[in-house]
Structure 1
Amino acid sequence: MDSTTKNQTPEYYQNVVVMRHGDRIDNFDPLWIATAPRPWDPPLIKEGRVRAFSTGRKFRNLFGYPLHRVFVSPFLRCIQTAAEAVIALSAVDDNPDALTGDSVTIDPSKLKVSVEYGLCEMMSRMAIKLEVAPKDGIWGFDISEREAMLPKGTVDNTVERVYKELPVWEEELSRTRARYEQIVKDLADKYPTENLLLVTHGEGVGVALSSFRKGAVVCEVDYCGYVELRRPIFKKDQSFTAGEFEVLTNAGQTGVKYSDLKDL
């Protein structure tokens, strides 16, 4: 928070939730890769869809604020996770017997969804094995195809992506982490009057915590684990100024385990 806003009362708080995708098939069926046409882009298993839907329902009932926009990595597991979470968040009736979004009626006006390359997986062998990565370097992400997998009526085609294309393989770890931190700030700055849900990968969730809670060391991020961030927004005349993000997530309570350096 700069000196011009230090003693001001915030106009309101902006909330950003950064969430990992659900359970991916290749971690449960090692033979899947052998016959998969896109082995670098595994889908969710049924349990992953259930977990994503359940997490979206939890968001709907847990937070004291609405979520307005969802941004999602183009990887299939994230698209499927976002789809389930959006259906749960937009459901007309919260049917307690529903395990996934199948046959759930939604109000598509409640949330708008966009695919964002900046939220994609670590583009290096640290996350994607060399034998799995495409040999020709063509990752084949058709954004229109990915958007068609999201709930009908929720996609916002007017949004201009922060990253116009995938980061270049092989992306250094320091650049990946800087990308994850910056994309949170960039998307929040782009929509300062809205609360956001960002669906990404485990490293992205970990960076979202450690970047905004100095001295925090992330140990583990579970499937659909998430970090809740908040920052004050100040208004002067017709312009907005944002304060620093603070982490609202306690260790181990949302599927993210971390320690503070001072406690180690």
Structure 2
Amino acid sequence: MKTPSRVLWFVRHGERIDNVDDTWKMTAKRWDDPPLSNRGQQQAREVGIALMADIIDYAICSPFTRCIETATEILSQRKIQLPLWIEPGFGESLNACMVPPGRPSMSQIKKLSEFVDDSYVPVYENLPPEYGGDEGCIPRVAHTLQTILSRYPTGNILFVSHGSPIAACHMTLCRTWYYVGQCTIGKIVMHGNGYKCEYFGDSRHLSDKTNLREIQRDRKSRGKVEE
């Protein structure tokens, strides 16, 4: 019997407050956990509107505030409430974090979003050491993604994460590192054991496509990506 296709959606968080306010980190208790800026909130709403008619069965999110706020805006656009699962394995690359990472606790996370379902059992509670800069997150993200796809073998999944982990997801499924802009959308279709990237880093839904901080790659965020 043929395994039906499923869709994996990948969204990077929206614009961070420290992208537009250089002084924010000077007084922040957790300098690696900035919330979204006003523009970031709007970007996330626009993602939600773009995806509101698409079938999504699971929503899985990094535990950092900017990702939770992004996911919450996306899910709030849907007619049927979808639980939000928090997965530390999709957290920021550790080279960009405090030691230990300054992500909020689960009790703090639940105050950030009404959608959070803390019955989900994460792949990682504590993250292993990482080496090699942004790409150091690849082994951890690959293990997280592969475990989730095995644990939930059917259904469409929305992943909300950060630039480097999303690039690592593309590396895991499509064999190339692909760093995307803020609140862009990626769509990878899985059929059996194969994957086809229909598009990645797509910004067509955004009203303002300027300065999406795709700092690690030259190619434009919009359009189809070939495997």
Q: Same fold (TM over 0.5)?
A: yes
User: Does residue 1:229 correspond to 2:188, yes or no?
Assistant: yes
User: Does residue 1:256 correspond to 2:206, yes or no?
Assistant: no
Instruction: Tell me how far apart the structure 2 counterparts of residues 11 and 207 of structure 1 sit (CA, whole Å).
Output: 25
1:33-182 mapped onto 2 (5 Å cutoff): 33-61=25-53, 63=54, 66-88=55-77, 90-91=78-79, 107-108=80-81, 111-124=82-95, 127-128=96-97, 133=98, 137=100, 139=102, 141-151=104-114, 154-168=115-129, 171-173=131-133, 174-182=135-143
Cα pair 1:217 1:261 within 8 Å, conserved: no
Cα pair 1:120 1:200 within 8 Å, conserved: yes
The one-letter code of the counterpart of 1:83 is: T
Paired residue for 1:100?
Answer: none
Cα pair 1:43 1:76 within 8 Å, conserved: yes
Cα pair 1:217 1:260 within 8 Å, conserved: no
Deviation of 1:138 (Å): 6.6
Instruction: Tell me how far apart the structure 1 counterparts of residues 88 and 39 of structure 2 sit (CA, whole Å).
Output: 26
Q: Considering only CA atoms, is the larger Rg found in Structure 1 or Structure 2?
A: 1
The SS at the match of 2:194 is coil
Instruction: Tell me how far apart the structure 1 counterparts of residues 72 and 94 of structure 2 sit (CA, whole Å).
Output: 23
Paired residue for 2:195?
Answer: 245
Paired residue for 1:197?
Answer: 158
Deviation of 1:17 (Å): 0.8
Paired residue for 1:96?
Answer: none
Cα pair 1:16 1:188 within 8 Å, conserved: no
Cα pair 2:33 2:64 within 8 Å, conserved: yes
What's the TM-score, normalizing by structure 2?
Answer: 0.81
Instruction: Tell me how far apart the structure 2 counterparts of residues 210 and 80 of structure 1 sit (CA, whole Å).
Output: 26
Instruction: Tell me how far apart the structure 1 counterparts of residues 223 and 169 of structure 2 sit (CA, whole Å).
Output: 12
Aligned CA distance change for structure 1 residues 15 and 120 (closer, same or farther; 3 Å): same
The SS at the match of 1:256 is coil
The one-letter code of the counterpart of 2:194 is: E
Instruction: Tell me how far apart the structure 1 counterparts of residues 132 and 156 of structure 2 sit (CA, whole Å).
Output: 30
1:145-168: per-residue Cα shift (whole Å, max 9, x none)? 2123112xx333322111122344
The SS at the match of 1:12 is coil
Unaligned runs of 5+ in 2: 205-219
Unaligned runs of 5+ in 1: 1-7, 92-106, 233-241
Aligned CA distance change for structure 1 residues 122 and 257 (closer, same or farther; 3 Å): farther
Cα pair 1:53 1:85 within 8 Å, conserved: yes
Aligned CA distance change for structure 1 residues 148 and 26 (closer, same or farther; 3 Å): same
Instruction: Tell me how far apart the structure 2 counterparts of residues 138 and 209 of structure 1 sit (CA, whole Å).
Output: 24
Instruction: Tell me how far apart the structure 1 counterparts of residues 72 and 200 of structure 2 sit (CA, whole Å).
Output: 26
Deviation of 1:54 (Å): 0.9
Instruction: Tell me how far apart the structure 1 counterparts of residues 101 and 199 of structure 2 sit (CA, whole Å).
Output: 37
Deviation of 1:261 (Å): 10
- Between the two proteins, the alignment pairs up a number of residues equal to 211
Cα pair 1:115 1:147 within 8 Å, conserved: no
The SS at the match of 2:8 is strand
Aligned CA distance change for structure 1 residues 23 and 188 (closer, same or farther; 3 Å): same
User: Does residue 1:185 correspond to 2:146, yes or no?
Assistant: yes
Paired residue for 1:236?
Answer: none
Identity value in percent: 25
Deviation of 1:116 (Å): 0.3
Aligned CA distance change for structure 1 residues 249 and 155 (closer, same or farther; 3 Å): same
Q: Name the Cα RMSD after superposition.
A: 2.7
The SS at the match of 2:94 is coil
Deviation of 1:213 (Å): 2.6
What's the TM-score, normalizing by structure 1?
Answer: 0.70
